[in-house]
Structure 1
Amino acid sequence: MIGFVVLIAMMPGYLKDLPQLVEWNTIAILVGLIILSRGLEDSGALTRAGLFLLTHMHTERKLAVAIVIFSALLSAVVTNDVALFIVVPLTLGLNRVAKIPVGKLVIFEALAVNAGSAASPIGNPQNLYLWQLSNDSFMSFLTTMLPISLWMLLVILLLAIFAFKNERVELNGCHTSAPLLLPLFYLSLLSYPIFLILVELNYVMIGVSAVLIVFLAGWRKILWSVDWQIILIFILMFIVLGLLAKLPIMAVVAQYLIDLPGHEVTAAILLSQVISNVPATLFLSEFTQDGYKLAWGANVGGFGLAIGSLANLIALRLSNQQGLGLHFHAWSIPVLLLSSLGAFFLAPWFF
């Protein structure tokens, strides 16, 4: 917020242009997805699915692999942040009735949602933004991002097999089944494809208006429980980074990064380690037209330092595990290095 005020003071001539710096279509889609994701979450269906998964894997290694796959798939549908708000509490709950390496599981859940969300246009904010800029179809974006997403997921799965023991997990209690609100589940589930079709047809405002009206009419409490602050954060992020991009020195910095070997992929990976992958995407998109390379780099850049992705910070905060940050980096940095190597090798085959 202080940075925003300083920038406005430095560049008062751009005050009237601030609304134009915001990609309102992206903000509208984010609003719709957050509401629908919250509907699925509050219905209890995802909690039950995750609970079933967590209690039917009988060895530590199988449990870890299942959690990684479940987290990755879930993040592609309900975004990486929402996926963590489901799987991390479930893991903490399982820890109360079984002896499991809960901290390590949370680390791999954070890594998994970054990998899984990379494939989907709606999996994370940077993909959503670049998808809107590209004007490509949902499937076109998905197929272009799938190779790097699968590579990252493969790296994480191989590390999970190495990291977790093949010892049996013994439960010493039972979970209480989560309540299931079927009307809310069906409403949210059916609304997803309809909303995405309207987005695909460039009827974004109609889609988000329909979602708001439906939930206002039948599930108003969902709207009250949505984290609206995150929408404000993204609006401010667009404005701050848009203003920064207008500074002459920033154009020099961006061009230097893009001119490095690997170009947009390298630039996004490096900048994500400093300012996180969403701001890095918003900033670099002002200086390149190659959105897909930027998307590959930004998603790979979610690994490495914890600041690389908001999902990492959410997972560490939800875990309530002291000193987990150090252990996180012991796994996340190797994933960054291996994912980067994969991105540099695969990129010439797809671009």
Structure 2
Amino acid sequence: MAPSWIKRLANERLLIGFGLLAAVLAVTDPHPWVDHQRWLQVPTLAGLLGLMICIQGIRDSGLVQHAAAAMVERAHSLRGMGLLLVSATAVLSMVLTNDVSLFLLVPLTLAISRISNLPLMRMVILQALAVNAGSTLSPIGNPQNLLLWQYTHLPFLEFVRAMLPAFATMFALVAMLTLAWMPRGRVVLHAADIDGHPISWTQAVLSLAAMASMVLMMEHGHALLGASLLLVPFLLLERSTLARVDWLLLATFAAIFLGLGHFAELGMVQRALDGLALERPLVLYASGIVTSQLISNVPATVLLLRHAPDAMGLAVAVNVGGFGVAIGSLANLIALRLAGQPHGLRQLHRVSIPFLLVCAPLVYLAWRWLG
């Protein structure tokens, strides 16, 4: 057990990197414990933990896999299949977060490609773009939205309304790319051969009810209490689900929040950020995108949040910043790792970087005119 755990931990480069950053800053620039608690964003981490437990329960129940397989069975063409998988990925990312929707649907795509002529790498790249687009709409779609939702205290539907123009533009572009890039031709599939995992209705109902209660608790500012209460039924009824939760992912976000929260308050960083004129919408937008390309959109959100007078403008920028280079969003890296194809990074960049260059100005116009 120990060697495999150490090997897995060694592969978590973001966790190690930001953990070392937090440790070095704690030694070289000591602060009271109350500051570390503030940087750690405990309500956001609690909300993320609660959602991860619910999501893992839904995944373990087999409900989503069977629903997706049934949808795929009704597709007659490769382009229709592509649009169906892209749409399902985008919709799931709104409620199950971007990374988890990939964990659910990329394995399904792999299974489909093994029994059909579906071009695997094209489809996985389109799904990576789709989760970045779909998760933009929802406060719980990705970690940066979850952080900004907790920070702004906006009602759930108000957050959705503010992000709607950006989401609509992104998804329209992904859909058009899917139609242009997927080959013509028919596909024949048998959904029963794709996933024979039986549905556990008890687990499905428990997980769906837990997710609904978690969202309500978060909306009313009780994320920590909601996550604590959520642990009870899962400890009693579904301990195996808790064991499969990606605890290292949670630790990675904790290290990001702690390390960059401290880093953002260093004197030299404060002076540099103060000189960016983030009160100007275009400067804020460009800064969010560029920073996301350098350090990923979740750390970029943590770094810029306290200096951005318009938190929702920052939300639009960092979500757009998920496109482009692979590090822009953890979802890109997850999609590539699940696909396991040679030269996947190069293929992603050939599509995702031009996509960002087209998407960024169009989303900016939609946000400024319709937001």
Q: CA deviation at 1:70?
A: 0.5
> Aligned pairs, how many?
351
Aligned mate of 1:135, from 153, 170, 175:
153
| Aligned twin of 1:321 | 341
1:69/1:145 Cα in 2 relative to 1: closer, same or farther (>3 Å)?
Answer: same
Distance in 1 (CA, whole Å) between partners of 2:203 and 2:186 is: 37
Larger displacement relative to structure 2 (202-211 or 102-111): 202-211
Larger displacement relative to structure 2 (103-112 or 56-65): 56-65
Distance in 2 (CA, whole Å) between partners of 1:101 and 1:36 is: 32
Q: CA deviation at 1:222?
A: 0.8
Larger displacement relative to structure 2 (70-79 or 164-173): 164-173
TM-score, length of structure 2 as denominator length: 0.90
- What is the SS of the residue equivalent to 1:178? coil
Distance in 2 (CA, whole Å) between partners of 1:122 and 1:94 is: 28
Aligned mate of 1:183, from 180, 202, 205:
202
Larger displacement relative to structure 2 (271-280 or 340-349): 340-349
Query: In the alignment, is the contact (CA less than 8 A) between 1:257 and 1:266 conserved in 2?
Result: no
2:148 equivalent to 1:116: no
Letter in 1 for 2:248: Q
Q: Write the mapping of 1:250-329 to structure 2, written as runs, cut at 5 A.
A: 250-259=269-278, 262-329=282-349
Query: In the alignment, is the contact (CA less than 8 A) between 1:120 and 1:142 conserved in 2?
Result: yes
Distance in 1 (CA, whole Å) between partners of 2:174 and 2:212 is: 29
Distance in 2 (CA, whole Å) between partners of 1:229 and 1:166 is: 41
Larger displacement relative to structure 2 (95-104 or 75-84): 95-104
TM-score, length of structure 1 as denominator length: 0.95
| Aligned twin of 1:217 | 236
Larger displacement relative to structure 2 (209-218 or 125-134): 209-218
Q: CA deviation at 1:172?
A: 8.5
Distance in 1 (CA, whole Å) between partners of 2:203 and 2:137 is: 27
- What is the SS of the residue equivalent to 2:341? coil
2:262 equivalent to 1:243: yes
- What is the SS of the residue equivalent to 1:122? coil
Q: Note the alpha carbon deviations across 1:265-305, whole angstroms, 9 max, x for none.
A: 11110100000000000110021231100000000000000
Q: Note the alpha carbon deviations across 1:237-263, whole angstroms, 9 max, x for none.
A: 111111111222212332344547712
Q: Write the mapping of 1:14-53 to structure 2, written as runs, cut at 5 A.
A: 14=32, 17-53=35-71
Q: CA deviation at 1:176?
A: 4.5
Q: Write the mapping of 1:72-111 to structure 2, written as runs, cut at 5 A.
A: 72-111=90-129
Letter in 2 for 1:228: W
Q: Which runs of 5+ in 2 are unaligned?
A: 1-18
Distance in 1 (CA, whole Å) between partners of 2:31 and 2:80 is: 59
Aligned mate of 1:193, from 187, 212, 215:
212
Distance in 2 (CA, whole Å) between partners of 1:176 and 1:209 is: 33
